[in-house]
Amino acid sequence: MVVSTSSGRPHFVLFPLMAQGHMIPMIDLARLIVQRGVIVTIFTSPQNAARFEKLLARAKQSGLQIHLLLLDFRVLEASGSPPGCENLDQLPSFHLAYFFLIWLARLQPQTEEIIQKLTPPPSCMIADLHLPWTAEVARKFDIPWIGLHTGSSFCQLNCEKTKEKPTDDFFKLVEETKRGAYGMVVNSFDGLEQAYVEEYKQIIGRKTWCVGPVSLCNTDDDDEAERGWQMGSASGVHQCLKWLDSQIPESVLYVCLGSLSNLPVSRMAELGLALEASKKPFLWLLRAGKHLEEVNKWISEEGYEERMEGRGVVVRGWAPQLLILSHPSVGGFLTHCGWNSVLEGISVGVPMVTLPLFADQFCNEKLVVDELKIGVKSGKGETDDIRKESVTEAIRELMDEGGERRKRARELCEMANKAMGDGGSSQRNLTLLIEEIEKRKSTNLIR
C-alpha cells in the first residue's frame, strides 16, 4: 500500500482514540506535522473520517502528504460492541465506554496487515494513551511509539502522586505502555504548565514534547468552522453567528458542557434557569445525549426560547466552538473543563465559569480557578449536581467583576500564541521531535 513516492521524508503514523475530545487534538497535531514536510497517515474509521474530511481535503489540495486509512469496525461486534458504533459518543450508554476501549484491541490484526504494506514504511507512531495495543504493533515493526496526552500535565502529575497502582488489567497495560514509550507529546505549552511538565517527565522517565495549544493550527475561518464538524448535527449555526455579530463586545457567555455530556432534564433545567436569572446574553450549545428529547420537551413546555428571545440563543447538536469562542462578542465561557475546551478558551483569552462533570474535569477546574486564576467555580465539589443559584452567582461574578481574570486570560492568550509562533517553545519542541525521528530513520538506513 503506497501512500507516497517521497521515500526520503519521515512518515508518521497517527492513531487517535475514537472519541471527539481525543480525535480533535490528534487531527490538529497531524496538520502541524504535515506542514513540516512530513508524510502523515491517520488510522480511523469511515464514520470518524467524515468528521474531519473537509479539513484534510483542504490540506491535501495544498499539496500536503496527509492520508487516511480506514479500519473495519465490524470486527468489534464479536466482542459485544453495538452495531454501527465507531465512536464513544455513539454508544447507547456511557457505561459501555470502558468496554469500548477494550474492544478496540480487535483492530490490531488488520492494523498490522496495513502497516506491513505501507510504502514508505512508518518512521514512528503517535497514538492515544488509551490505545495501548498500538504500542505492541509499533514494537513488531521496530517503530518508536509516542503517546499523546490529551489532558493537562497538572492532572497527570496529580494522578501520578495520589493514586494507587491500577489493579484493572486494562489500565495496568496503559501504565506499562506509558512507561515503555519512546516519549510523550503533550497538548500544552511551557508558559502554562512548565513546572508540572518537568516534574511529570521526571516521574515517568520519558522524553516529553509540549507542542500546543494545537488548536492554534486553525488559522482561518474555514478551519475554525469545520474543526470537529459532525454532519447533520447542527441547527441554526449561521443564525447564531449572525446573532453574535449583533451583540456588544465581550458581553456574551458561551455555554457548552462537552461532547459526552449526558445530563438528565432536571440538571439541564437548572442550568437553563440559571442562564435566564443571570440576565446576561448567552449562546447555549445543547447536547444532552440520550436526554435531549426530554430537555427539548422542557424547553418547549416552558416557552424557554420565547422568553429568551433577543438575549439567549440555544443551538442543538454541534457548533463551531473555536469560531464562537474567538468572536469579539464572547466575554465568558461556561465549560465542563475538558482539556480541549480549557485550552481553546485560553488560546483566545476568554475567562471561564467552571462546571466539571466527571473524570479529570475537576482537576482541570482546580488549575483554571486556583492556579491560573482565570475562572469562577459554579459548584461546591465533585458532583454533577447543578444548582440554579450557584451557577447564576458564578456567571454574574465572571461577567460583572472579572477584570483581573480577563486580564490574566489575555496574558495567557499572548503566551499561547507566542509559543505556537515562529521561534516559540511549542514550535521548537515539534521541530526537535521531527528531527529526532529523522535522525533515527537515517541511522537505521545506514545500518
* pLDDT tens per residue across span 225-263: 667 665 544 556 777 888 999 999 999 999 999 877 777
Distance in angstroms (rounded) separating the CA atoms of residues 158 and 200: 9
Q: Name which of 183, 198, 49, 205 is nearest 126 in CA terms.
A: 183
Mean pLDDT of 363-392: 87
pLDDT recorded at residue 287? 76
pTM: 0.92
- Give residues with Cβ within 8 angstroms of 89, minimum separation 6: 19, 20, 259, 260, 289
Pair 32, 68: CB distance under 8 Å = no
Contact 171, 135 (CB under 8 A): no
Answer whether 252's CB lies under 8 Å from 283's CB: yes
Residues forming a β-bridge with 183: 146, 207
Q: What is the pLDDT of residue 348?
A: 96
Could you check whether the bond before residue 120 is cis, i.e. omega within 30 degrees of 0? yes
Per mean pLDDT, which range of 61-65, 350-354, 440-444 is the poorest? 440-444
Q: What percent of the chain has pLDDT over 70?
A: 91
* Predicted local distance difference test score (pLDDT) of residue 446: 44
Q: Are 391 and 282 in contact (CB under 8 A)?
A: no
Is a pLDDT exceeding 70 seen at residue 384?
no
Highest-pLDDT range among 122-131, 147-156, 220-229: 122-131
Q: What is the pLDDT of residue 406?
A: 96
192-206, 243-257, 391-405, 415-429: the lowest-pLDDT one: 192-206
Mean pLDDT value across residues 374-397: 85
Does residue 329 register a pLDDT over 60? yes
**Residues in a beta bridge with 145:** 125
Across 44-48, 61-65, 257-261, 263-267, least confident range = 257-261
pLDDT of residue 440: 85
Q: Each residue of 170-212: pLDDT tens digit?
A: 989 998 999 899 999 999 999 999 889 899 888 888 999 999 9
> What would the mean pLDDT of 369-378 be, rounded to a whole number?
96
The answer to whether 210 and 190 are in contact (CB under 8 A) is yes
Class of domain 11-217+421-446: alpha beta
Each residue of 79-108: pLDDT tens digit? 889 999 999 888 888 789 999 999 999 999
What pLDDT shows up at residue 447? 42
pLDDT at residue 115 is higher than 80: yes
Which grid coordinates belong to 140? 513488531
Query: Given a cut of 80, is residue 289 above it in pLDDT?
Result: no
Share above pLDDT 90 across residues of the chain, in percent, rounded to a whole number? 65
Mean pLDDT of the region 323-344:
96
pLDDT at 383: 55
Neighbours of 355 (CB within 10 A): 25
Same fold, 11-217+421-446 and 233-415: yes
Mean pLDDT lowest among 138-147, 195-204, 217-226, 289-298? 217-226
Q: What is the mean pLDDT of the chain?
A: 89
Asked if the model's pLDDT at residue 55 lies above 90, the reply is: no
Q: With 70 as the cut, is the pLDDT of residue 1 above it? A: no
- At residue 4, the pLDDT reads 55
- pLDDT of amino acid 92: 86
What are the residues whose beta carbons fall under 8 Å from the beta carbon of 399, sequence distance 6 or more? 251, 253, 278, 280, 331, 332
**CATH superfamily of this structure's domain 233-415:** Glycogen Phosphorylase B; (3.40.50.2000)
Find the helix or strand (DSSP H, E) in which 186 lies.
strand 183-186
Can you give the residue ranges of every domain in the chain? 11-217+421-446, 233-415
Q: Is the pLDDT of residue 445 over 70?
A: no
Q: Which of 311, 330, 332 minimizes the C-alpha distance to 398?
A: 332
Positions of E strands within 116-168: 124-128, 145-149
Residue 213, preceding peptide bond in cis (omega within 30° of 0): yes
**119 DSSP 8-state letter:** B
pLDDT in tens, 338-365: 999 999 999 999 999 999 988 889 999 9
Closest Cα to residue 51, out of 225, 230, 260?
A: 230
Supply the pLDDT for residue 61. 82
Question: Rounded distance, CA 362 to CA 382, Å?
Answer: 7
Q: Which of 236, 242, 233 is nearest to 305 (CA)?
A: 236
Q: How far is residue 103's CA from residue 364's CA, in Å, rounded to a whole number?
A: 28
- Whether 143 shows a pLDDT value over 80: the answer reads yes
50 phi, psi to nearest 5 deg:
-65, -25
Which of 97, 105, 96 is CA-nearest to residue 131?
A: 105
Please give the Cα distance from 271 to 267 (Å, whole number).
6
